[in-house]
Structure 1
Amino acid sequence: MIEAKLTYQEGDQFAPIPANEQSLPSIVAEHFVDIDLGDENPAYNILEGLNFDQHDNLYVCVPPQGDIYRVDMKTKKVSHFTHLPHNMLPSALKVHRDGRLFITSAGSNHGCSVAVLDPDDGHVIKELANLPGRMFDDLAFDHRGGFYLSDLGGTLDNPSAGIYYVSPDEKTITPVVKNGMIASNGISLDPEENNLWTTEYGTGRLHHLGLSGDKKSIVPSLSNIPYYFTGMEGPDSLTVDRDGNVYVSMCGQGRFLIFNKNGFPIGQILLPGRERGDMLKSTHIIIRPNTNEAYMCSSNLTTGKAAIFKAKVYAKSNNFND
C-alpha cells in the first residue's frame, strides 16, 4: 500500500511564490553594495527610502536607527549622511525640484512629520505636516511641488488611515482619502498625474485612485482595487516608470512585483537567496533617473546583513522625483 505524503519544496518554509504568480516573467537581481550596519541589533537593520538626488547620489534610510546613508554611484562608496534628531524614524526620502530632501517620519518624540533637510549637510531646515494621530510613511511629489502622503496608521477595528495632499506652498494639508485604510504605504503618481497608486500594507491591497480635476480628491468611478496580495507581510513602497508600470516591493518576501498601467501583473524581480530565507525584508525600489536601472534594498533581520541590489527593468524612470 502506498502512503500518500506531502513533502516540502525549496522555499516553502519562508516566502514561496503563490501559484498564480509563479509563471510571471522573472529575473534575479544582482548585488550592488552592502550597507554595513553592524550586528549588534540585526532586527534593527532595516533599509527604506531609496532615492537619487540631482547629482546622482543614492540615499537610503535606516528607520529604526534614525540614520540616512549616501552611496556614491561612481565608486560605490557608502558614507553616513546624517542622523535625524529627537528619535525620528525616516521611512522615505524624496527630492524636491529645488534640491531639498523631504523625509517622512512615521514617529518621533514629537509625533509624525515631514522633515525638510539641507542637501549639503543634512541638517533639518523645518518640519511639516505634524498631524496628531497620523503616521506618515511615504510621499510623492507632483510637478507643481505639492506632494501626497500615505499614513501607516489604522487597525482592523479602526481603519483610520488615509491619503493626504500638501500644497506647493507647504502650508495646507487636504485629506484626499479621509480614512478606511489600514497602513497605506507606498505611493506614486502615474506619468500624467491623473491617477495615484498606493499600497495598503495592513490589508495586502493595491489601490488605483483616480484623481479629480483639482487633484485633491478621488473620483469613485475611476478608483478601484486591482490586486490582492498573499502572505503575512506584503505590499510596501512602490514606484512608477515612464510607461506607467507599477513596481511594488513585497516586504518579507525578497521580491518585487511589477504591474502594467491597467493593474495586471506582468513580471517580478527576485532577490538572490530568498529561497533560503535570506534578504527577505525587501522594502523599497527606485529607478535611477534617465535610465531603466532599478535599485532595491533589503535585509536579513537574523544576520543583520543589509544591501542594495540592481536590475534592468521595462522602462526608464517616470521623472526626477519618482
Structure 2
Amino acid sequence: MRMRFFSTFRQATLLAAVGLGCFTTTSCVAASTVKSDSAGALDEPVPIPPSERSLPAVIAEPYFKVSNEGLNLEGTSFDLRGNLLFVEVFGGRVFSLSPSRKLTTLVAPNKYGSAGLAIHKDGRLFVAGLGNFKDTGSLVTFSPDGRELQTVISADKGFLVDDLVFDANGGFYFTDFRGSTTEPTGGVYYVSPDLKTVTPILPHLAAANGVALSPDGKTLWITEFSKGLLHRVQLSDATTVAPFGTAITYQFTGPSPDSMRVDSAGNLYVAIYSQGRVLIFNKMGIPIRQILIPGRQQGHNLLSTSMAIKPGTDELYIVANDAKGGRGATVFRTKALAKAVLLYSHQ
C-alpha cells in the first residue's frame, strides 16, 4: 500500500495513527504516532518553521536499527545488488545493508572521516573524507569488496571533501566543507572522468555540503551548510556555469541543510541536520513536501543527514541518529514522489 502525502500535519498524524505504510507483501509496519493536538507545535524542541508548517507531510517509518550508539551515518547509495551502502563519519567505516536486512562492514574503521559515498559504474566505492576536519580531507576509492584502496584527492591538497555526485560521463562534482559564515573558503569542484583534472565550479561557499545533479545533468544543486542556503546552478557543460546561471533558491530556517538526492522527475530531497526531517523541492527549487522522522517532536532522531531512492522503485531510505538521546542510529523508509533517477553506477 502506498503512503500518500497529506496537506496538513493533522492529516499526516491521522495516517500514522491508523498505521498505514506497508513496505512488504506480507506485513505492514505501523507508522510512528504523533498526537494530533501537538503536531508541528511551536514549543517542540525543534519546531517546524512557520513558513513550512503548511507543507504536505508524511511520517517515515523505522526500517533498520544500525546501532544503539548515535553513529553519524552519511553517504547513502545503492549498489547493483540492491545493497544499501552508507558511511560512518567519525569512525570512517563503510557499511552494507542487504535487501534481507543483514548488516556487514565493507571498510574497517579508519582515519578518513568518511562523509560521502558514490559508486562508479565499475563498482568502485568513491568515499569522500573530512580527515581531521581541518585540512586533511581526501577522496579515496575502494574496490567493491572494500579491500583495494586508491587515492584520487590526497590529504595534502587541503580540501575537506564532504559529498560527491557522478555525471553521465564518469566525472564527478564534490563539495569542499571548509569555511564559515564570515570566511567562506569552501566550494564545489569537478573532477574529470580520467580523475586527473580538478576544476572549480562555485567557490567562496561557507561549508559546502550536499551536492546533486538533475536527471538531464544540466542543473547542479548545492547546499551551503553554514549559511543555510540552497544553490541552483545551470551548466552549459560539465565545467562551465551558464550565463546568469547561478541562483539562491531557498534560505533555510534553523540548522542546517545537509546531503541531497534527486528523483527521476527532478524533485530534490534535502536532509535537514538537527531537525529530523527532509524537505522536498520541485525542479525550480520551490518547497513542495516534507518528510518527518519519528521521535523528532520529542527531540529524538534529529540528526538526519542523507537519503537514497532504491533504483527501479520509489522507495526512499533515510539515515538519522539520535546523538546522545538513547535511540541510536537508524535507517528509515518512506515513498518518494517519483522513482529513482538512473545513476551512473547503474548505467
Do they fold alike, i.e. is TM over 0.5? yes
Aligned to 1:295: 317
Which of 168, 190, 194 does residue 165 from structure 1 map onto?
A: 190
Structure 2 counterpart of 1:236, one-letter code: D
**Take 2:206 and 2:214, find their aligned partners in 1: how far apart are those partners?**
23
Shift of 1:91: 0.6
Superposition pairs for residues 98-177 of structure 1, below 5 Å? 98-108=122-132, 111-120=136-145, 122-130=146-154, 132-177=157-202
Considering only aligned residues, what root-mean-square deviation do their CA atoms show, in Å?
2.0
Distance in 1 of aligned mates of 2:109 and 2:339: 32
Shift, 1:236, TM fit: 0.1
> Is 1:206 matched up with 2:239?
no
| Residue among 283, 286, 298 paired with 1:261 | 283
Q: Aligned runs of 1:238-249 on 2, under 5 Å?
A: 238-249=260-271
- Of the three residues 291, 294, 316, the one matched with 1:272 is 294
Q: Percent identity?
A: 38
Matched residue count = 305
Q: CA deviation at 1:319?
A: 1.4
| Structure 2 partner of 1:313 | 336
Once the two structures are TM-superposed, the CA of residue 132 in structure 1 deviates from its matched residue by 2.6
Contact 1:48/1:284 (<8 A) preserved: yes
The corresponding residue for 1:53 is 79
Indicate yes or no: 2:60 matched with 1:29.
yes
Structure 1 position 80, deviation (Å): 1.9
Letter in 1 for 2:199: T
Aligned-pair CA distance for 1:123: 2.1
Q: 1:220 to 1:136 in 2, by over 3 A?
A: farther
1:320 CA displacement: 2.4
Q: Which residue is equivalent to 1:81? A: 106
What is the distance in 1 between the residues matched to 2:241 and 2:226? 21
Code of the residue aligned with 1:117 in structure 2: it is F
- Select 2:213's aligned residue among 189, 205, 219: 189
- Residues 269 and 279 in structure 2, CA contact (< 8 A), matched pair in contact too: yes
Structure 1, residues 21-63: CA drift from partner, whole Å, max 9, x if none? 1111100001100002x54xx4xx2111111111111112111
- State whether residues 301 and 327 of structure 2, in contact with CA within 8 Å, keep that contact through their aligned partners in structure 1: no
Counterpart for residue 17 of structure 1: 48
Deviation string 1:154-212 (CA, Å, 9 cap, x unpaired) is: 123321111110000011111112x2210111101101111100111010000001112
TM-score between the two structures when normalised by the length of structure 2: 0.84
- Long gaps (5+) in structure 2: 1-39
Q: CA deviation at 1:20?
A: 1.1
Alpha-carbon distance between aligned partners in 1 of 2:149 and 2:132, rounded to the nearest angstrom: 16
TM-score after normalising by structure 1: 0.90
Counterparts of 1:30 and 1:106 in 2: how far apart (Å)? 30
Distance in 2 of aligned mates of 1:321 and 1:253: 30
Deviates further, 106-115 or 192-201: 106-115
Task: Report the residue type matching 1:161 in the other structure.
Answer: G
SS at match of 1:282: strand
| Secondary structure of the corresponding residue to residue 90 of structure 2 | helix
Say whether the 8 Å CA contact 1:11–1:276 is kept in structure 2. Answer: no
Q: CA shift at 1:321, angstroms?
A: 4.3
Report the equivalent of 1:3: none
CA offset digits 1:123-161 (Å, max 9, x no partner): 243111226331110001011100001111012332111
1:66 deviates by 1.3
Alpha-carbon deviations, 1:79-102, whole Å to 9, x = none? 2222254x1111111110111110
Runs of 5+ consecutive residues of structure 1 not aligned to the other structure: 1-8
Q: Secondary structure at the match of 1:275?
A: helix
Runs of 4 or more, structure 1, over 3 Å off, are none
CA contact 1:11–1:275 (8 Å) conserved in 2: no
Contact 1:253-1:274 at 8 Å conserved across structures: yes
Measured after TM superposition, the shift of residue 304 of structure 1 is: 5.6
Q: CA deviation at 1:13?
A: 4.4
How far, CA to CA, are the matches of 1:159 and 1:211 in structure 2?
22
1:290 maps to amino acid: G
